[in-house]
Structure 1
């Protein structure tokens, strides 16, 4: 087996262990550092011996200088910049989460976001609240085998709700992924009495304005593929 196939299959086996996706689906991961999450896909093009292309989904991220990646065994990954310099590394912990440090010592983490748009959905056993098959419905970001309930995929004007984030979410200045990221919502937080949400019909997105401490901003509640914050807490 040629070196590329060994490296990519190791990456696919390791990074796709939490899903039923196939290796050619190029799932989206979030690289979290400096209070920002930049979504990426792991490409199959070698940019230098043993280092493969990192495909960025978002523009203008604080970690936009990431260019390539390399697997070291099944539980260690390294990231490289333009000058082939080592930028960050992460290890897979016993809990299945990837954590490490960026070059200057700040915490670094990899967060799984799900299959990339436009990829053929994996074949899965239907285990949903509707008759739709997974891959043809909006699913929960932390439970991709289950279609989201109607109350989590719809928006009612002037409704006051509580929202539970299902993953670390960017807190945006405006209800738009191109807007400035102010911070990242902490885990296990519950947003009580959320009163202001807006729906973008063209993008099939629902955004809600929330408050974290003294900071106010917007989180993406759902898009065309996933629900990122469910209704109710606890």
Structure 2
């Protein structure tokens, strides 16, 4: 009986100590939203009383990543954007970009984890490392000869990354686009009509890399072909 009484007393003390109550909230929204934009309503989704948020000093704090990206509107219970969120800067090429923040409430103390799933927007254009690409090709080169071109890179992911390549109209080359096994695409020039240095000594062909976002963005480079005498 004495042990039982001690256990009951211990449990009574235990349950009266302020505890951290973990109830996760998860929100998905696009990067680069303006400061003050509403992401969702914490009070409604976590069952909190809006009228008590100010008295309980509700606030968002960073959880391990060192920066607070969101805040709480104490009048409405909304969670709002507090600072610029650049998905590429935070997560690079990762397919999933999740930031962890923490909702802190006092009297009694509660900690609620807030997971922010940052979605990519098409805010970057494809870029070639070199704006000018040079080839020296002999006029004796056989029809069907291939010349690999530099790949365009895009900081965005998925459909917002580079989806296709094209070249300006010309009578000697067509473009072949190849998908890589690990993702991404590159292109190559394919000789369609033999070169003749006596007729053409140099060619300048515009290469375009285009993403699949909305609106679509593109980047360009110029392929310079010097025809060598055989």
Q: How high is the TM-score relative to the length of structure 1?
A: 0.24
Larger Rg: 2
Richer in helix (by share): 2
Q: Which has the higher contact order (CA 8 A, sep 6+)?
A: 2
Q: How high is the TM-score relative to the length of structure 2?
A: 0.24
